[in-house]
Structure 1
């Protein structure tokens, strides 16, 4: 993993995490109805993304942060399945059905692979 990719990952998860706090209305419809306390789950997801992004900065916590991101992404799979099962619209978010499948089958595994590669990054602090 090169430096640009590594720091892009940190920015990606940090900004995504902040967005959970700034725009919760975007995420709440994506949380399956069978999960309790969607507002709390949204805040916890945002906190996890921000915290794990920051933990990637330090060599001493990088391996665990990367593994935490992998676990977090696996935990997000029910939201992806909910999005697919709900059809092409969840809340105000409407996209063609293939987008949900692409997120689950292509983008999600790539994000997991990206996080897995970050475990061994030796640059930075």
Structure 2
């Protein structure tokens, strides 16, 4: 029962995070490394994949594949976390945190999210 709760929590987290890429793109765009092209496209594609993978993890048929997709997506987000640290953990008129918080996000929270998704890559099925 606890694993089902955490599976649904993970799915809902990613669905809302993905939706937020469209509701609040000005939050995400400055966090995308400026050396990458097509920032708007990267933001939109990230949001779409977050929503699709969050939804996918909720269904037994797709949950293992979605969990692996979440892991890949989180790995692809690492350059953004590093970039945020490089620019001083502060975006003008946007997210601004102490640098140590950005490091905690990269070195602790991000791996926890990856591990959380990894739990659902196992052959056991949780939920519907």
Shorter-normalised TM range: over 0.9
Partner of 1:14: 15
Q: Distance in 1 between matches of 2:28 and 2:10?
A: 20
Unmatched segments (≥5 aa) in structure 2: none
Partner of 2:61: 60
For the residue of structure 2 that corresponds to 1:90, the secondary structure is coil
Partner of 1:108: 110
Partner of 1:37: 38
Q: Distance in 2 between matches of 1:54 and 1:70?
A: 15
Unmatched segments (≥5 aa) in structure 1: none
Q: Which structure 1 residue ranges, 4+ long, deviate > 3 Å from structure 2?
A: none
For the residue of structure 2 that corresponds to 1:89, the secondary structure is coil
Aligned pair count? 125
Aligned-CA RMSD value: 1.2
